[in-house]
Amino acid sequence: MSDETEDTSSYPALGRALTWVETPRAKLTLLALLVLGCVISVAWDFTYEKYGYFMETSLIGFYAGLGFVLMFVLVLSANGWRALIGAREDFYAGESTDAENLPEDQFDIGDHNA
């Protein structure tokens, strides 16, 4: 990201509202919000008495830890499945218009990076 301020007046309202994500402090802010959410979810376990069929389910932070572990496994398995059944990068190249040799004047080529 450059030091210049970008003119966001042509952006839609949601695009203008989310430009803060590109700031240098955004990564730290999002990480702090994640940690705060984790702390709150574990602290919430102290507010009620749990009755579980298994002893492990009554431990403090059990479901928060279980959710973290299962999401970690889900992400790793999704990467493995993508490698196993994912399509090649040029899978649609034979049917796409950019692979054809059509005259340039038949395409409406505009600036789509607005």
Tokens matching residue 37: 């959410």
* pTM > 0.85: yes or no: no
Q: How many CB atoms lie within 10 A of CB 26?
A: 13
Q: 103 phi and psi, to 5 degrees?
A: -65, 145
Q: How many CB atoms lie within 10 A of CB 23?
A: 11
Tens digits of pLDDT across the chain (114 residues): 445 677 878 888 898 888 888 888 998 999 999 899 888 988 888 888 888 888 888 888 888 889 889 999 999 999 888 888 887 777 766 656 554 566 666 666 666 665
